[in-house]
Structure 1
Amino acid sequence: MALGARALSEAAGAAGHPDVLTWSTVFLSAAQAGPVSVHAELLREGRSVSTGQVRLVQEGPDGPVERARLTAVLGDAPVALEPAHRAPGPPSMPPPEECVPARRDGSPLASAIALLDRLDIRVDPATAGFAMGRPTGRGVLRAWVRMADGREPDVAMLPFAVDCLMPVAFDLGVAGWAPTLELSGQVLGRPASGWLRVAMHADVVAGSFYVEDADVWDSTGRLVARSRQLAGIRVPAEGLVAPVDGPADRPADRPAG
Protein backbone atom coordinates (compact mmCIF):
# COMPACT_ATOMS: atom_id res chain seq x y z
CA MET A 1 0.00 0.00 0.00
CA ALA A 2 2.79 2.41 0.87
CA LEU A 3 4.53 1.68 -2.43
CA GLY A 4 1.34 2.34 -4.38
CA ALA A 5 0.55 5.47 -2.39
CA ARG A 6 4.05 6.80 -3.05
CA ALA A 7 3.64 6.27 -6.80
CA LEU A 8 0.32 8.13 -6.83
CA SER A 9 1.82 10.94 -4.75
CA GLU A 10 4.53 11.40 -7.35
CA ALA A 11 1.96 11.33 -10.17
CA ALA A 12 -0.25 13.96 -8.49
CA GLY A 13 2.59 16.17 -7.26
CA ALA A 14 2.52 18.36 -10.36
CA ALA A 15 -1.13 19.12 -9.63
CA GLY A 16 -0.22 20.31 -6.11
CA HIS A 17 -1.63 17.18 -4.44
CA PRO A 18 1.41 15.27 -3.14
CA ASP A 19 -0.25 13.51 -0.18
CA VAL A 20 -2.63 10.56 -0.06
CA LEU A 21 -5.63 11.60 2.07
CA THR A 22 -7.72 8.44 1.83
CA TRP A 23 -7.21 5.11 0.08
CA SER A 24 -8.76 1.70 -0.46
CA THR A 25 -6.84 -1.41 -1.45
CA VAL A 26 -8.09 -4.77 -2.69
CA PHE A 27 -5.58 -7.61 -2.41
CA LEU A 28 -6.01 -9.89 -5.41
CA SER A 29 -3.27 -12.49 -4.91
CA ALA A 30 -0.40 -13.26 -2.57
CA ALA A 31 2.70 -11.17 -3.32
CA GLN A 32 6.06 -12.91 -3.50
CA ALA A 33 9.47 -11.59 -2.50
CA GLY A 34 11.01 -9.97 -5.56
CA PRO A 35 10.47 -7.20 -8.12
CA VAL A 36 7.08 -5.55 -8.57
CA SER A 37 5.81 -3.29 -11.35
CA VAL A 38 3.84 -0.24 -10.26
CA HIS A 39 1.30 1.21 -12.70
CA ALA A 40 -0.09 4.55 -11.47
CA GLU A 41 -2.84 6.47 -13.23
CA LEU A 42 -4.45 9.81 -12.39
CA LEU A 43 -8.20 9.56 -12.96
CA ARG A 44 -9.05 13.18 -12.17
CA GLU A 45 -7.17 16.37 -11.35
CA GLY A 46 -9.26 18.82 -9.33
CA ARG A 47 -8.55 22.14 -7.67
CA SER A 48 -8.42 20.85 -4.09
CA VAL A 49 -7.97 17.08 -4.59
CA SER A 50 -7.03 14.57 -7.26
CA THR A 51 -8.07 10.94 -7.64
CA GLY A 52 -5.97 8.07 -8.90
CA GLN A 53 -5.48 4.35 -8.98
CA VAL A 54 -2.42 2.11 -8.99
CA ARG A 55 -1.92 -1.53 -9.92
CA LEU A 56 0.90 -3.59 -8.42
CA VAL A 57 1.92 -6.45 -10.71
CA GLN A 58 4.47 -9.25 -10.48
CA GLU A 59 5.64 -11.77 -13.05
CA GLY A 60 4.22 -15.22 -12.41
CA PRO A 61 4.96 -18.57 -14.06
CA ASP A 62 2.23 -17.91 -16.64
CA GLY A 63 2.76 -14.18 -17.09
CA PRO A 64 1.95 -10.96 -15.18
CA VAL A 65 -0.20 -11.33 -12.05
CA GLU A 66 -1.89 -8.37 -10.38
CA ARG A 67 -1.24 -8.49 -6.64
CA ALA A 68 -3.14 -5.43 -5.40
CA ARG A 69 -5.11 -2.45 -6.70
CA LEU A 70 -5.29 0.81 -4.79
CA THR A 71 -7.53 3.82 -5.38
CA ALA A 72 -6.89 7.06 -3.55
CA VAL A 73 -7.83 10.69 -3.11
CA LEU A 74 -4.81 13.00 -2.88
CA GLY A 75 -4.34 16.57 -1.71
CA ASP A 76 -2.02 18.86 0.19
CA ALA A 77 -2.03 17.54 3.77
CA PRO A 78 -0.90 20.76 5.55
CA VAL A 79 -3.71 22.67 3.81
CA ALA A 80 -6.45 20.04 3.87
CA LEU A 81 -5.94 18.66 7.40
CA GLU A 82 -5.30 21.73 9.53
CA PRO A 83 -6.32 22.49 12.17
CA ALA A 84 -7.29 19.30 14.02
CA HIS A 85 -10.66 20.12 15.61
CA ARG A 86 -11.54 16.80 17.27
CA ALA A 87 -9.95 13.36 17.62
CA PRO A 88 -9.50 10.61 20.21
CA GLY A 89 -6.37 10.85 22.30
CA PRO A 90 -3.75 8.09 22.37
CA PRO A 91 -4.04 5.12 24.72
CA SER A 92 -1.89 5.05 27.84
CA MET A 93 1.22 2.92 27.27
CA PRO A 94 4.58 2.43 29.00
CA PRO A 95 7.48 4.21 27.28
CA PRO A 96 9.15 2.30 24.42
CA GLU A 97 12.10 1.18 26.56
CA GLU A 98 9.66 -0.57 28.92
CA CYS A 99 7.79 -2.38 26.15
CA VAL A 100 8.49 -5.75 24.51
CA PRO A 101 10.66 -5.56 21.37
CA ALA A 102 9.37 -7.57 18.41
CA ARG A 103 12.44 -9.23 16.88
CA ARG A 104 12.94 -12.08 14.46
CA ASP A 105 14.91 -14.00 17.09
CA GLY A 106 12.02 -13.67 19.54
CA SER A 107 10.14 -16.83 18.48
CA PRO A 108 10.01 -19.48 15.73
CA LEU A 109 6.99 -17.70 14.24
CA ALA A 110 8.75 -14.32 14.20
CA SER A 111 11.88 -15.76 12.57
CA ALA A 112 10.11 -15.90 9.20
CA ILE A 113 8.74 -12.33 9.32
CA ALA A 114 11.26 -10.34 7.25
CA LEU A 115 9.20 -7.19 7.83
CA LEU A 116 10.66 -7.02 11.33
CA ASP A 117 14.03 -6.16 9.78
CA ARG A 118 12.56 -2.87 8.55
CA LEU A 119 10.91 -1.79 11.78
CA ASP A 120 11.59 -1.15 15.43
CA ILE A 121 8.42 -2.37 17.18
CA ARG A 122 7.89 -2.24 20.96
CA VAL A 123 4.69 -4.02 22.03
CA ASP A 124 2.74 -2.83 25.07
CA PRO A 125 3.24 -5.58 27.70
CA ALA A 126 -0.50 -5.49 28.46
CA THR A 127 -1.18 -6.74 24.91
CA ALA A 128 1.89 -8.98 24.41
CA GLY A 129 0.52 -12.10 26.10
CA PHE A 130 0.00 -13.84 22.74
CA ALA A 131 3.79 -14.07 22.34
CA MET A 132 3.97 -16.23 25.49
CA GLY A 133 0.94 -18.35 24.67
CA ARG A 134 -1.39 -16.24 26.82
CA PRO A 135 -3.62 -14.16 24.50
CA THR A 136 -6.10 -11.95 26.34
CA GLY A 137 -9.05 -12.70 24.05
CA ARG A 138 -9.91 -8.98 23.98
CA GLY A 139 -8.64 -8.59 20.43
CA VAL A 140 -6.31 -5.65 21.19
CA LEU A 141 -2.70 -4.90 20.22
CA ARG A 142 -0.75 -1.73 20.98
CA ALA A 143 2.83 -0.87 20.10
CA TRP A 144 5.35 1.89 19.50
CA VAL A 145 6.67 1.85 15.92
CA ARG A 146 9.50 3.54 14.04
CA MET A 147 11.68 2.70 11.03
CA ALA A 148 14.73 0.61 11.88
CA ASP A 149 16.96 2.77 9.67
CA GLY A 150 16.08 5.91 11.62
CA ARG A 151 13.98 7.53 8.90
CA GLU A 152 11.36 9.82 10.39
CA PRO A 153 7.68 9.14 9.66
CA ASP A 154 5.91 11.02 6.88
CA VAL A 155 2.51 10.87 5.18
CA ALA A 156 3.72 8.23 2.72
CA MET A 157 4.59 5.91 5.64
CA LEU A 158 1.09 5.92 7.14
CA PRO A 159 -0.42 3.28 4.80
CA PHE A 160 2.44 1.08 6.03
CA ALA A 161 1.99 1.98 9.69
CA VAL A 162 -1.70 1.01 9.88
CA ASP A 163 -0.89 -2.59 8.90
CA CYS A 164 2.65 -3.13 10.16
CA LEU A 165 1.88 -5.07 13.36
CA MET A 166 1.09 -8.73 13.79
CA PRO A 167 -2.60 -9.59 13.16
CA VAL A 168 -4.97 -8.84 16.04
CA ALA A 169 -6.20 -12.41 15.56
CA PHE A 170 -3.14 -13.44 17.60
CA ASP A 171 -4.75 -11.88 20.69
CA LEU A 172 -7.92 -13.84 19.95
CA GLY A 173 -5.93 -17.07 20.20
CA VAL A 174 -5.64 -17.60 16.43
CA ALA A 175 -2.02 -17.43 15.23
CA GLY A 176 -0.81 -17.65 11.66
CA TRP A 177 -3.04 -17.25 8.60
CA ALA A 178 -4.84 -13.88 8.49
CA PRO A 179 -4.85 -12.57 4.89
CA THR A 180 -6.23 -9.11 4.21
CA LEU A 181 -8.93 -8.98 1.54
CA GLU A 182 -9.56 -5.22 1.60
CA LEU A 183 -8.22 -2.30 3.60
CA SER A 184 -9.41 1.31 3.62
CA GLY A 185 -7.59 4.07 5.44
CA GLN A 186 -7.52 7.81 6.04
CA VAL A 187 -4.61 10.17 6.62
CA LEU A 188 -5.61 12.65 9.33
CA GLY A 189 -2.42 14.67 9.77
CA ARG A 190 1.24 14.93 8.83
CA PRO A 191 3.14 13.02 11.55
CA ALA A 192 5.74 14.73 13.70
CA SER A 193 9.20 13.22 14.11
CA GLY A 194 9.62 10.41 16.62
CA TRP A 195 7.80 7.24 17.58
CA LEU A 196 4.36 6.37 16.21
CA ARG A 197 1.87 4.84 18.62
CA VAL A 198 -0.29 2.18 16.92
CA ALA A 199 -3.40 0.65 18.48
CA MET A 200 -5.34 -2.12 16.76
CA HIS A 201 -8.49 -3.94 17.79
CA ALA A 202 -10.92 -6.52 16.45
CA ASP A 203 -14.38 -6.81 17.97
CA VAL A 204 -16.18 -8.58 15.09
CA VAL A 205 -15.57 -12.16 13.95
CA ALA A 206 -18.06 -13.69 11.53
CA GLY A 207 -17.45 -17.15 10.11
CA SER A 208 -14.08 -17.13 8.40
CA PHE A 209 -13.64 -13.33 8.44
CA TYR A 210 -12.93 -10.65 11.00
CA VAL A 211 -12.75 -6.85 11.01
CA GLU A 212 -9.53 -5.22 12.22
CA ASP A 213 -9.31 -1.49 13.00
CA ALA A 214 -6.13 0.54 13.50
CA ASP A 215 -5.38 4.02 14.86
CA VAL A 216 -1.99 5.76 14.63
CA TRP A 217 -0.82 8.71 16.75
CA ASP A 218 2.41 10.65 16.31
CA SER A 219 4.86 11.69 19.03
CA THR A 220 2.76 14.76 19.90
CA GLY A 221 -0.33 12.63 20.60
CA ARG A 222 -2.13 13.64 17.40
CA LEU A 223 -4.20 11.03 15.55
CA VAL A 224 -2.59 10.93 12.10
CA ALA A 225 -4.14 7.83 10.48
CA ARG A 226 -7.00 5.36 10.83
CA SER A 227 -7.93 2.20 8.92
CA ARG A 228 -10.33 -0.73 8.76
CA GLN A 229 -9.74 -4.02 7.03
CA LEU A 230 -11.56 -7.27 6.33
CA ALA A 231 -9.26 -10.24 6.87
CA GLY A 232 -9.51 -14.00 6.91
CA ILE A 233 -9.40 -16.07 10.08
CA ARG A 234 -9.49 -19.78 10.87
CA VAL A 235 -11.32 -20.12 14.16
CA PRO A 236 -10.37 -23.40 15.88
CA ALA A 237 -13.01 -25.96 16.74
CA GLU A 238 -12.87 -24.95 20.41
CA GLY A 239 -13.63 -21.34 19.49
CA LEU A 240 -11.89 -18.08 20.34
CA VAL A 241 -10.12 -17.37 23.63
CA ALA A 242 -12.54 -15.99 26.23
CA PRO A 243 -11.75 -12.33 26.99
CA VAL A 244 -10.01 -11.64 30.29
CA ASP A 245 -10.79 -8.59 32.40
CA GLY A 246 -8.74 -5.54 31.55
CA PRO A 247 -8.76 -1.78 31.08
CA ALA A 248 -10.78 -0.03 28.41
CA ASP A 249 -9.63 -1.15 24.97
CA ARG A 250 -10.25 2.11 23.13
CA PRO A 251 -9.56 5.73 24.08
CA ALA A 252 -12.51 8.01 24.67
CA ASP A 253 -13.22 10.79 22.21
CA ARG A 254 -11.95 14.16 23.30
CA PRO A 255 -11.34 17.48 21.57
CA ALA A 256 -7.96 17.63 19.84
CA GLY A 257 -5.23 19.89 21.12
Structure 2
Amino acid sequence: MATEWDTHTALTTTGDGLFGADLDPGWTVGGGVNGGYLLGVVGKAIAEAVPAKPHPLAVSAHYLSAARPGPAQVSTRVLREGGSVATVSAELGQAGTTRISALATYGDLCSMPDDVATTAEPPALPPLEECVPGSLAPEETRRVAPVMDRFDMRFDPACVGWTMGAPSGRGHIQAWFRMADGHDVDPVGLLMVCDALPPVTFDLGRPGWAPTLELTVHVRAVPAPGWLRVSHRTRNVAGGMFEEDCEVWDSTRRLVAQSRQLAIQPRG
Protein backbone atom coordinates (compact mmCIF):
# COMPACT_ATOMS: atom_id res chain seq x y z
CA MET A 1 0.00 0.00 0.00
CA ALA A 2 1.36 3.40 -1.02
CA THR A 3 2.21 5.80 1.78
CA GLU A 4 1.15 9.45 1.77
CA TRP A 5 4.77 10.37 0.99
CA ASP A 6 4.84 8.01 -1.99
CA THR A 7 1.58 9.45 -3.30
CA HIS A 8 2.59 13.08 -2.86
CA THR A 9 6.01 12.55 -4.51
CA ALA A 10 4.80 10.30 -7.33
CA LEU A 11 6.40 10.92 -10.73
CA THR A 12 5.47 10.21 -14.32
CA THR A 13 8.31 9.45 -16.71
CA THR A 14 8.21 11.34 -19.99
CA GLY A 15 11.61 10.19 -21.34
CA ASP A 16 15.06 11.72 -21.80
CA GLY A 17 15.49 12.28 -18.06
CA LEU A 18 12.24 14.24 -17.74
CA PHE A 19 9.61 13.61 -15.08
CA GLY A 20 6.22 15.09 -14.28
CA ALA A 21 5.04 15.76 -10.71
CA ASP A 22 1.97 17.18 -9.01
CA LEU A 23 2.98 19.23 -5.95
CA ASP A 24 0.46 18.56 -3.20
CA PRO A 25 -1.11 21.51 -1.30
CA GLY A 26 -0.66 19.62 1.96
CA TRP A 27 3.03 20.59 1.95
CA THR A 28 2.58 24.34 1.94
CA VAL A 29 3.69 26.97 4.45
CA GLY A 30 1.90 30.28 4.01
CA GLY A 31 1.06 29.43 0.40
CA GLY A 32 4.58 28.40 -0.66
CA VAL A 33 5.63 24.76 -0.92
CA ASN A 34 8.05 23.44 1.73
CA GLY A 35 11.63 23.29 0.45
CA GLY A 36 12.37 19.88 1.95
CA TYR A 37 9.37 18.34 0.19
CA LEU A 38 10.51 19.90 -3.10
CA LEU A 39 14.00 18.47 -2.60
CA GLY A 40 12.43 15.09 -1.94
CA VAL A 41 10.58 15.24 -5.26
CA VAL A 42 13.82 16.17 -7.03
CA GLY A 43 15.62 13.42 -5.11
CA LYS A 44 13.15 10.79 -6.29
CA ALA A 45 13.60 11.86 -9.90
CA ILE A 46 17.39 11.58 -9.59
CA ALA A 47 17.04 8.10 -8.07
CA GLU A 48 14.96 7.03 -11.06
CA ALA A 49 17.55 8.49 -13.45
CA VAL A 50 20.31 6.29 -11.94
CA PRO A 51 18.44 3.19 -10.64
CA ALA A 52 21.65 1.29 -9.83
CA LYS A 53 22.56 4.05 -7.37
CA PRO A 54 19.28 4.79 -5.57
CA HIS A 55 20.46 6.75 -2.54
CA PRO A 56 21.46 10.39 -2.17
CA LEU A 57 24.91 10.88 -0.68
CA ALA A 58 25.32 14.63 -1.16
CA VAL A 59 22.74 17.01 -2.60
CA SER A 60 23.15 20.77 -2.95
CA ALA A 61 20.14 22.79 -4.10
CA HIS A 62 19.62 26.46 -4.86
CA TYR A 63 16.07 27.80 -4.55
CA LEU A 64 15.44 30.29 -7.33
CA SER A 65 11.73 31.02 -6.90
CA ALA A 66 8.81 29.98 -4.68
CA ALA A 67 6.94 26.89 -5.86
CA ARG A 68 3.16 26.59 -5.74
CA PRO A 69 0.93 23.50 -5.51
CA GLY A 70 0.13 21.95 -8.87
CA PRO A 71 1.91 20.51 -11.89
CA ALA A 72 5.71 20.63 -12.02
CA GLN A 73 8.47 19.14 -14.11
CA VAL A 74 11.84 17.71 -13.08
CA SER A 75 14.62 17.49 -15.64
CA THR A 76 17.69 15.38 -14.86
CA ARG A 77 21.06 14.99 -16.57
CA VAL A 78 23.57 12.31 -15.64
CA LEU A 79 26.95 14.04 -15.66
CA ARG A 80 28.97 11.00 -14.66
CA GLU A 81 28.24 7.46 -13.55
CA GLY A 82 31.20 5.52 -12.23
CA GLY A 83 31.60 2.30 -10.32
CA SER A 84 30.23 3.41 -6.95
CA VAL A 85 28.74 6.90 -7.45
CA ALA A 86 26.88 8.96 -10.02
CA THR A 87 26.76 12.73 -10.35
CA VAL A 88 23.48 14.17 -11.60
CA SER A 89 22.17 17.69 -12.17
CA ALA A 90 18.45 18.38 -11.84
CA GLU A 91 16.00 21.24 -12.08
CA LEU A 92 12.42 21.51 -10.89
CA GLY A 93 10.29 23.95 -12.83
CA GLN A 94 6.74 25.22 -13.13
CA ALA A 95 5.19 27.03 -16.09
CA GLY A 96 8.57 27.64 -17.66
CA THR A 97 10.13 29.03 -14.45
CA THR A 98 12.91 27.21 -12.60
CA ARG A 99 12.14 26.73 -8.92
CA ILE A 100 15.15 24.64 -7.83
CA SER A 101 18.52 23.86 -9.40
CA ALA A 102 20.40 20.96 -7.79
CA LEU A 103 23.62 18.99 -8.13
CA ALA A 104 23.74 15.57 -6.48
CA THR A 105 25.98 12.58 -5.88
CA TYR A 106 24.13 9.26 -5.60
CA GLY A 107 25.23 5.75 -4.68
CA ASP A 108 24.07 2.61 -2.91
CA LEU A 109 24.37 3.04 0.87
CA CYS A 110 23.64 -0.66 1.39
CA SER A 111 26.80 -1.66 -0.47
CA MET A 112 29.11 0.78 1.28
CA PRO A 113 31.33 0.06 4.33
CA ASP A 114 29.39 -0.02 7.58
CA ASP A 115 32.19 1.49 9.66
CA VAL A 116 31.30 4.34 12.03
CA ALA A 117 33.85 6.53 13.79
CA THR A 118 32.35 9.69 15.21
CA THR A 119 32.69 12.09 18.10
CA ALA A 120 29.16 13.40 17.47
CA GLU A 121 26.55 12.82 20.15
CA PRO A 122 22.81 12.35 19.50
CA PRO A 123 20.48 15.09 20.77
CA ALA A 124 19.60 14.71 24.45
CA LEU A 125 15.84 14.57 24.12
CA PRO A 126 13.45 13.83 26.99
CA PRO A 127 11.29 10.70 26.64
CA LEU A 128 8.48 10.93 24.10
CA GLU A 129 5.79 11.19 26.75
CA GLU A 130 7.50 14.27 28.24
CA CYS A 131 7.74 16.13 24.93
CA VAL A 132 5.24 18.54 23.35
CA PRO A 133 3.24 17.20 20.37
CA GLY A 134 3.13 19.43 17.30
CA SER A 135 -0.58 18.57 17.10
CA LEU A 136 -1.13 21.05 19.98
CA ALA A 137 -0.38 23.96 17.63
CA PRO A 138 -3.31 26.42 17.32
CA GLU A 139 -5.78 25.75 14.53
CA GLU A 140 -4.86 29.07 12.89
CA THR A 141 -1.22 27.99 12.68
CA ARG A 142 -2.18 24.64 11.18
CA ARG A 143 -4.29 26.37 8.54
CA VAL A 144 -1.36 28.57 7.52
CA ALA A 145 1.09 25.64 7.58
CA PRO A 146 -0.73 22.43 6.59
CA VAL A 147 2.70 20.81 6.20
CA MET A 148 2.56 20.28 9.98
CA ASP A 149 -0.13 17.66 9.47
CA ARG A 150 2.30 15.52 7.46
CA PHE A 151 4.42 14.84 10.55
CA ASP A 152 4.21 13.55 14.10
CA MET A 153 6.68 15.75 15.96
CA ARG A 154 7.31 15.76 19.72
CA PHE A 155 9.27 18.86 20.70
CA ASP A 156 11.77 19.17 23.52
CA PRO A 157 9.99 21.35 26.14
CA ALA A 158 13.20 23.39 26.52
CA CYS A 159 12.89 24.47 22.86
CA VAL A 160 9.24 25.61 22.65
CA GLY A 161 9.28 28.80 24.71
CA TRP A 162 8.73 30.74 21.48
CA THR A 163 5.20 29.28 21.26
CA MET A 164 4.35 31.24 24.43
CA GLY A 165 6.26 34.40 23.55
CA ALA A 166 9.36 33.42 25.53
CA PRO A 167 12.01 32.15 23.08
CA SER A 168 15.22 30.92 24.69
CA GLY A 169 17.46 32.99 22.42
CA ARG A 170 19.79 29.99 21.96
CA GLY A 171 18.77 29.36 18.36
CA HIS A 172 17.99 25.69 18.93
CA ILE A 173 14.94 23.53 18.16
CA GLN A 174 14.90 19.75 18.47
CA ALA A 175 12.23 17.07 18.38
CA TRP A 176 11.36 13.43 17.99
CA PHE A 177 10.10 12.92 14.43
CA ARG A 178 8.15 10.45 12.35
CA MET A 179 5.68 10.68 9.48
CA ALA A 180 2.04 11.18 10.47
CA ASP A 181 1.00 7.90 8.85
CA GLY A 182 3.71 6.06 10.78
CA HIS A 183 5.76 4.88 7.81
CA ASP A 184 9.54 4.78 8.14
CA VAL A 185 11.67 7.36 6.32
CA ASP A 186 14.02 6.15 3.58
CA PRO A 187 17.25 7.87 2.44
CA VAL A 188 15.47 10.09 -0.11
CA GLY A 189 12.96 11.04 2.59
CA LEU A 190 15.85 12.32 4.72
CA LEU A 191 16.21 15.19 2.22
CA MET A 192 12.77 16.33 3.39
CA VAL A 193 13.35 15.68 7.10
CA CYS A 194 16.28 18.13 7.11
CA ASP A 195 13.80 20.96 6.41
CA ALA A 196 10.79 19.70 8.39
CA LEU A 197 11.05 21.50 11.73
CA PRO A 198 9.97 25.15 12.16
CA PRO A 199 12.69 27.68 11.25
CA VAL A 200 15.23 27.80 14.06
CA THR A 201 14.90 31.61 14.11
CA PHE A 202 11.62 31.09 16.00
CA ASP A 203 13.80 30.34 19.03
CA LEU A 204 15.46 33.74 18.53
CA GLY A 205 12.11 35.53 18.76
CA ARG A 206 11.93 36.00 14.99
CA PRO A 207 8.85 34.08 13.81
CA GLY A 208 7.64 33.86 10.24
CA TRP A 209 8.35 32.13 6.96
CA ALA A 210 12.09 31.86 6.23
CA PRO A 211 12.66 31.30 2.49
CA THR A 212 15.54 28.94 1.75
CA LEU A 213 18.29 30.21 -0.55
CA GLU A 214 20.51 27.11 -0.53
CA LEU A 215 20.31 23.72 1.15
CA THR A 216 23.01 21.04 1.21
CA VAL A 217 22.27 17.59 2.64
CA HIS A 218 24.69 14.73 3.33
CA VAL A 219 23.01 11.35 3.81
CA ARG A 220 25.25 9.04 5.83
CA ALA A 221 23.25 5.83 6.28
CA VAL A 222 19.92 4.12 5.70
CA PRO A 223 17.83 5.01 8.77
CA ALA A 224 16.66 2.17 10.99
CA PRO A 225 12.90 1.85 11.55
CA GLY A 226 11.39 3.95 14.30
CA TRP A 227 11.46 7.49 15.61
CA LEU A 228 14.11 9.93 14.40
CA ARG A 229 15.77 12.63 16.49
CA VAL A 230 16.10 15.93 14.63
CA SER A 231 18.10 18.92 15.86
CA HIS A 232 18.33 22.39 14.25
CA ARG A 233 20.74 25.12 15.34
CA THR A 234 21.90 28.53 14.19
CA ARG A 235 24.85 30.55 15.42
CA ASN A 236 24.83 33.56 13.15
CA VAL A 237 22.23 35.99 11.81
CA ALA A 238 23.79 38.58 9.51
CA GLY A 239 22.92 40.52 6.39
CA GLY A 240 19.26 39.56 6.71
CA MET A 241 20.17 35.85 6.47
CA PHE A 242 20.91 32.98 8.83
CA GLU A 243 22.37 29.48 8.60
CA GLU A 244 20.52 26.45 9.91
CA ASP A 245 22.47 23.29 10.75
CA CYS A 246 20.52 20.07 11.06
CA GLU A 247 21.36 16.59 12.32
CA VAL A 248 19.10 13.56 11.97
CA TRP A 249 19.68 10.49 14.17
CA ASP A 250 17.84 7.20 13.85
CA SER A 251 16.43 4.86 16.50
CA THR A 252 19.80 3.10 16.88
CA ARG A 253 21.44 6.44 17.76
CA ARG A 254 23.25 6.60 14.42
CA LEU A 255 23.77 9.91 12.62
CA VAL A 256 22.01 9.33 9.29
CA ALA A 257 21.87 12.84 7.78
CA GLN A 258 23.44 16.26 8.19
CA SER A 259 22.55 19.50 6.44
CA ARG A 260 23.24 23.22 6.31
CA GLN A 261 21.00 25.75 4.69
CA LEU A 262 21.17 29.47 4.14
CA ALA A 263 17.80 31.18 4.51
CA ILE A 264 16.35 34.67 4.58
CA GLN A 265 15.55 36.01 8.03
CA PRO A 266 11.77 36.10 8.69
CA ARG A 267 10.15 39.49 8.55
CA GLY A 268 7.52 38.51 11.11
With normalisation by structure 1, the TM-score equals 0.85
Which residue number in structure 1 is paired with residue 8 of structure 2? none
Residue 133 of structure 2: which of 77, 88, 101 is its match?
101
State how far apart, in whole Å, the 2-side matches of 1:146 and 1:81 are.
Answer: 27
Quick check: 1:86 aligned with 2:118? yes
TM-align CA RMSD? 1.6
2:78 to 10, 19, 42: 42
- What residue identity is the alignment partner of 2:91? R
Any idea what SS the aligned residue of 1:145 has? strand
Which residue in 1 is equivalent to 2:50? 12
Shift, 1:70, TM fit: 1.4
Matches within 5 A, 1:182-197: 182-197=214-229
Q: What SS does the corresponding residue of 1:35 show, helix, strand or coil?
A: strand
Is 1:144 paired with 2:181?
Answer: no
**Shift in Å, 1:87:** 4.6
The correspondence for 2:251, drawn from 208, 215, 219, is 219
Q: Shift of the alpha carbon at 1:104?
A: 7.5
Alpha-carbon shift at residue 74 of structure 1 (Å): 0.5
How far 1:105 sits from its partner (Å)?
4.8
- 1:106-125 counterparts in 2 under 5 A? 106=138, 108-125=140-157
The range that moved more, 110-119 or 46-55, is 110-119
2:69 is aligned to 33
Distance in structure 1 (CA, Å) of the matches to 2:82 and 2:235: 38
81 and 120 in structure 1: CA distance in 2 versus 1, 3 angstrom threshold: farther
Alignment pair present for 1:51 and 2:87:
yes
Amino acid at match of 1:115: V
Whether contact under 8 Å (2:208, 2:267) holds in the other structure is no
CA distance in 2, matches of 1:157, 1:5: 8
Contact 1:104 1:110 in 2 (8 A): no
Q: Is the 8 A contact 1:81 1:189 kept in 2?
A: no
Q: Could you tell me how far 1:98 is from its partner in structure 2?
A: 1.9
Question: Distance in 1 between the 2:90 and 2:262 partners?
Answer: 20
Is the 8 Å Cα contact of residues 55 and 187 (structure 2) preserved in structure 1? Answer: yes
- The range that moved more, 108-117 or 143-152, is 108-117
Aligned equivalent of 1:254: none
- Unpaired segments of 5 or more residues in structure 2? 1-38
Q: Matched residue of 1:169: which SS?
A: helix
Q: Check conservation: 1:52, 1:71, Cα contact below 8 A.
A: yes
Between the aligned partners of 1:41 and 1:117, the Cα distance in structure 2 is 34
Structure 1 residues 87, 111: closer, same or farther in 2, change over 3 A?
farther
Q: When the two structures are aligned, how many residues end up with a matched partner?
A: 230
**Unmatched 5+ residue regions in structure 1?**
237-257
Query: What amino acid does structure 2 have at the position aligned with 1:7?
Result: A
More displaced stretch, 43-52 vs 80-89:
80-89
Distance 1:81 1:202 in 2: 32
**Pairing of 1:224-239 with structure 2 (within 5 A):** 224-234=256-266
The match for 1:129 among 161, 171, 175 is 161
Residue pair 2:85, 2:107 contacting (<8 A) in 1 also: yes
Residue aligning to 1:67: 99
| Structure 2 Cα separation of the partners of residues 18 and 137 of structure 1 | 40
Give deviations 1:99-132, integer Å, cap 9, x for gaps.
Answer: 1111375253343111112111111111011111
- Structure 1 contact 208–235 (Cα < 8 Å) conserved: no
- Pair 1:2-2:34 in alignment: no
CA distance in 1, matches of 2:264, 2:128: 30
What is the letter of the counterpart of residue 51 of structure 1?
A: T
Q: Deviation digits for residues 6-63 of structure 1, max 9, x if unmatched? A: 11111111xx21111000000000011222212122111111100001111112xxxx
Mapped contact 1:87–1:223 kept (Cα < 8 A): no
**Whole-angstrom distance in 1 between the partners of 2:231 and 2:137:** 24
Look up the match of 1:239.
Answer: none
Equivalent-residue separation in structure 2 for 1:182 and 1:3 (angstroms): 16
1:175 maps to 207
In the alignment, the residues of structure 1 paired with residue 50 and residue 232 of structure 2 have an alpha-carbon distance, to the nearest angstrom, of: 30
Is the CA contact 1:212–1:228 (under 8 Å) kept in the aligned structure 2? yes
